[in-house]
Structure formats: C-alpha cells, structure tokens
Amino acid sequence: MKTIALLTALLSSLTFAQAADPATHLYKGEIAGVSCAACSKKIKKSLEQLPGVTSIKLIPGEASGVAKIEIASTSAEITKASAIKALGKSAEEYTIITLDEAKQK
C-alpha cells in the first residue's frame, strides 16, 4: 500500500512539472507610422511570425502616429532587428523606434 501511495505521489509531481508554463518574456517599445486600425492589424500579423509570440498589444502613444508596443513571447531571442525583419516590406511604412525586453518584477 505504501508503494502505491509513493508511486502516485511521484507520478503526480512528474505530471505537474510537465504542465508548468514556459517562461514568458515581455518586450516593450514604440513604433511610428500607426495611424489606423488597419495599420495595427498589419503590424500585429507581421510580428506574430516572431518566435514564441503569445500576444501583441499596440497602445496609442502620446504623439500622433506613434504607438506603444508590447510583445509577450516564450523566446528570449526577440530583438529590434528581428522585429524589423518580421515586418518585411511593411518596414518601409512603419518604424520601430525602440524594442527592449522589459525588466520582470
């Protein structure tokens, strides 16, 4: 009976370890050229190609046409350069001003 209880506890801990979420990295920055909902949609669709992206938020900034951007990803490899590359030809219309990993609290 003790063996069954021990095996059950061991299996439960293994299942829990596998179910843990991978680390999430949050990147924040600013992007210029965002003037409408269609722009936001186009940017989000392009940046979803980055590795491990789980969400993208574009928040209107204080300056006209400049939005704050937040990207959540399981990848620690996202950079301003990789985001510009993900925009492809759209990089001619939009300028990623800044994009850095936010400090986790």
CB atoms within 10 A of CB 100: 11
Residue with tokens 């050229």: 33
pLDDT at 34: 94
Domains and CATH numbers, the chain: 22-101 (3.30.70.100)
53 to each of 8, 14, 58, 63, 92, how far by Cα in Å?
35, 27, 14, 26, 23
Evaluate whether 94 touches 30 at the Cβ level (below 8 Å).
Answer: no
Band of pLDDT at residue 23, cut at 50, 70 and 90: confident
Positive or negative, the CA dihedral 51, 74, 44, 60 is: negative
13: its two tokens = 């801990």
Band of pLDDT at residue 103, cut at 50, 70 and 90: confident
- Of 7-11, 33-37, 81-85, minimum mean pLDDT range: 7-11
CA distance 66 to 59: 9
Positive or negative, the CA dihedral 78, 45, 60, 105 is: negative
CA distance 43 to 59: 12
Rg, Å, the chain Cα set: 20
